[in-house]
């Protein structure tokens, strides 16, 4: 009776030991060696896991860096100092220029609507219907898609237009990828002013739909002491390699659509708006 129980137990134990040994041998023989640099680099990355670099997350991006499939300049949310440290683990590369993201639109509620939208209130869904409800084809739809997609909760909609809180923004670029109007733009982190309009229509046409849009008068370009502004398709373009951040363009702009990059905290409203933005 005892043998009837003991023999099967011994057989099963023997089989378990054999399989245990086989598993241990296979795990050693077929193990995939992981480059130690991947973990070190991942720890230096921002940890935003935003996917703006084109990879699934920071771990995937770190692996691509080690394998030479990616460049550290693709990650805008990692600090310049950490990028330099990461380059120490790699065979070279460029840190890239530090940038900030701004919304190149100041229209919002100052821009007319083409129709009264009824339905799911999301920017991409509105874009499918005649390019959105805004009469300006490049105007911010203002239905919070960028707000919802921002991993650092750095965007709010104020009077119909997206405002980026630079104190919270990690510069990951998710909003750039998600905005259906493609009006989220990168500019150098050293820049102080930016053009908060994307319309290339003539002034008369702009004014017909938006009270805050650029009218293409060219006063900013004419008055720029460093000749850093040129007019292209009725819209000023700033050459930040020449710009001295004097602010003369902003003071001369009759539409007040040249804004300061750094937001100013408005305590009573708990919002962040640009100093020149009269939204």
* pLDDT in single tens digits along all 279 residues of the chain: 666 677 777 778 888 888 888 887 777 776 666 788 999 999 999 888 888 888 989 999 999 999 999 999 899 889 889 999 999 999 777 888 899 999 999 999 999 999 988 877 789 999 999 999 999 999 999 999 999 999 999 999 999 999 999 999 999 999 999 999 999 999 999 999 999 999 999 999 999 999 999 999 999 999 999 999 999 999 999 999 999 999 999 999 999 999 998 644 433 333 333 333 333
For residue 104, give the CATH number of its domain. 3.30.70.20
Contact 158, 220 (CB under 8 A): no
CA–CA separation, 253 and 176 (whole Å): 26
Gap between the Cα atoms of 86 and 157, Å rounded: 36
Task: Tell which of 52, 87, 122 closes a domain.
Answer: 87
- Domain finish residue from 22, 55, 87: 87
Any domain includes 230: yes
Q: How big is the chain by its Cα radius of gyration, in Å?
A: 27
Q: Check: CB of residue 64 under 8 Å from CB of residue 70.
A: yes
Instruction: Compute the distance between CA of residue 106 and CA of residue 198 in angstroms, rounded to an integer.
Output: 9
Give the relative orientation of helices 80-87 and 36-44 as an angle to the nearest 10 degrees. 170
What is the per-residue pLDDT for 3? 65
Q: Per the structure, how many domains does the chain have?
A: 2
This prediction's pTM: 0.77
Helix/strand/coil for 266 = strand
Assess whether 146 and 182 both reside in one domain: yes
Residue 139 belongs to some domain of the structure: yes
Cβ pair 48, 58 in contact under 8 A: yes
Range of the domain at 43: 36-87
pLDDT of the residue at 33: 67
């Amino acid at each position: 009776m005892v043998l009837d129980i003991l023999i099967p137990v011994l057989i099963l134990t023997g089989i378990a030991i054999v399989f245990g040994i086989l598993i241990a041998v296979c795990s050693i023989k077929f193990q995939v060696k992981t480059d130690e640099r991947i973990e070190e680099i991942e720890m230096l990355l921002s940890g935003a896991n935003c996917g703006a670099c084109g990879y699934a997350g920071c771990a995937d991006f770190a692996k691509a860096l080690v394998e030479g499939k990616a460049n550290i300049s693709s990650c805008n949310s990692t600090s310049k100092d950490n990028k330099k440290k990461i380059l120490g683990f790699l065979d070279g590369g460029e840190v890239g220029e530090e940038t900030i993201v701004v919304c190149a639109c100041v229209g919002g509620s100052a821009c007319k609507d083409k129709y009264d939208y009824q339905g799911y209130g999301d920017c991409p869904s509105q874009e499918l219907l005649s390019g959105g409800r805004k009469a300006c084809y490049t105007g911010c739809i203002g239905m919070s898609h960028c707000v919802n997609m921002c991993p650092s909760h750095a965007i709010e909609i104020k009077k119909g237009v997206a405002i980026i809180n630079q104190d919270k923004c990690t510069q990951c670029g998710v909003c750039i990828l998600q905005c259906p109007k493609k009006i989220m733009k990168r500019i150098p982190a050293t820049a102080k002013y930016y053009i908060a309009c994307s319309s290339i229509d003539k002034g008369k046409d702009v004014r017909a739909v938006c009270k805050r849009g650029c009218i293409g008068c060219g006063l900013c370009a004419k008055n720029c002491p460093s000749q850093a502004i040129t007019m292209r398709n009725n819209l000023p373009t700033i050459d930040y390699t020449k710009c001295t951040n004097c602010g003369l363009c902003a003071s001369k702009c009759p539409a007040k659509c040249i804004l300061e990059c750094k937001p100013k905290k408005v305590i009573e409203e708990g919002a962040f708006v640009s100093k020149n933005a009269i939204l």
